[in-house]
Amino acid sequence: MKNKISKLFIAAFTAMIVFSACKKNDPDQWLKDNITIIGKVPVVAGFTVKPPQTTNVAAGTNVQLDLRYWSDDQIDKINLRSTVGANAQALVSTIPYQKAYSSVSRTDSLLLGYQVPGDLAKGTSVVMEIEVVNKNTLTKKATLTLKIQ
């Protein structure tokens, strides 16, 4: 009887080990159950001042900003904001997306004009921020600092 109970106990223990060893737990299963994928983030490949201009600008001049960007998902709009000195950030313009593919850079390209305020003191910084907004609401921002000469 004791021998029979021992064999039964060993068989149950062995079965438990075999079944637990065969169980495959995906370590990412919790994550897969608890997230919702909404899309891809846009990419800002470059945000510069169009040559021959530089980031050192005179007050009151018009600056051409060159944006290079792309996205695997549909783009909705592009927001341009500026922060002059210690002032609050202000929306300069919102541009709806239009295809402008450049085969040279293999990105969409956009030239944006910005009128630098005329009453700024020498040495003032103007931080330009560009935001590319996808239709899935994901965004990507890039900044560029202009220095008043």
Q: Which pLDDT score is estimated for 134?
A: 97
- What CATH number should be reported for the domain whose range is 43-148? 2.60.40.730
Contact indicator for 40, 133 with CB cutoff of 8 Å: no
Terminal alpha carbon distance of the chain: 99
pLDDT tens-digit map of 36-93 = 888 999 999 999 999 888 999 999 999 999 999 999 999 999 999 999 999 999 999 9
Distance CA 11, CA 4 (A): 10
pLDDT at 142 over 70: yes
* Residue ranges covered by each domain of the chain: 2-34, 43-148
Pairing of β 75-84 and β 125-134: antiparallel
Give pTM, 2 decimals. 0.75
Contact indicator for 132, 40 with CB cutoff of 8 Å: no
